[in-house]
Structure 1
Amino acid sequence: MAENVKAVPLHDRVIIKPAPSAEKTAGGIIIPDTAKEKPQLGIVVAAGPGKKDEPVTVKQGDKVLYGKYAGTEFQYEGQQLLIMRESDIFAIL
């Protein structure tokens, strides 16, 4: 489960903790940092209330799939997090 974050996103924004990148391939080859792909999976840490006529459908603790280049990375309380619009999320897994 994701750790609690005291930050509250506004409107339709969502804060996500990205899943860690793979360290090895299935064959056991170690992947260097420069060749790792950005993760596309994460856990929702906090969600805003939504827009006036559109409430946010994701909630804290949901595992989600989002676009590779979606969101803005930031560091908060020692954690690497992403903030993005709910529309950048493709699916709840």
Structure 2
Amino acid sequence: MKIVPLNDKIVVERLEAEDKTAGGIILPDTAKEKPKQGKVISLGDGKLLDDGKRGAFQVKTGDRVLFSSYAGNEVTVDGKEYLVMTEDDVLAVVD
């Protein structure tokens, strides 16, 4: 199944959490923090502007992005978790 976001929404797949600290300590699943990075899976049509046109996105499919802790809504499709958020929730693109 494919997720197609509407308007100015984007679908992001959260990246895996680190299971080891910088000092080499292995973290159990309960101690892992949810990552605040993800990969853009799909984009909507863009924000509807006052003149009736659609605004272009600054991110594109495949970009690795940083977002805030409480950004978006979590959804599960075919056993995989995704976040559906607006582009405003994206803080930066990681190269």
Q: How much has 1:92 moved relative to structure 2?
A: 1.2
Q: How much has 1:84 moved relative to structure 2?
A: 0.6
Say whether 1:20 aligns with 2:16. yes
**TM-score scaled by length of structure 1:** 0.86
Q: 2:6 aligns with which of 4, 10, 18?
A: 10
Equivalence for 1:72: 73
Equivalence for 1:56: 57
1:15-39 deviations in Å (ceiling 9; x for gaps): 0011100111122211122221111
Give 3-state SS (helix, strand or coil) of 2:5's partner.
Answer: coil
Instruction: Choose 1 or 2 for highest CA Rg.
Output: 2
Output the CA distance in 1 between the equivalents of 2:2 and 2:85: 17
Identity score, percent: 46
Query: RMSD over aligned Cα, in angstroms?
Result: 1.3
Q: How much has 1:78 moved relative to structure 2?
A: 2.1
1:24-68 deviations in Å (ceiling 9; x for gaps): 112221112222111111100001011122222211101111111
Q: 2:33 aligns with which of 21, 37, 40?
A: 37
Unpaired segments ≥5 residues, structure 2: 50-54
Task: Count the aligned residue pairs.
Answer: 89
Give 3-state SS (helix, strand or coil) of 2:22's partner.
Answer: coil
**TM-score scaled by length of structure 2:** 0.85
Output the CA distance in 2 between the equivalents of 1:49 and 1:55: 8
Unpaired segments ≥5 residues, structure 1: none
Give 3-state SS (helix, strand or coil) of 2:30's partner.
Answer: helix
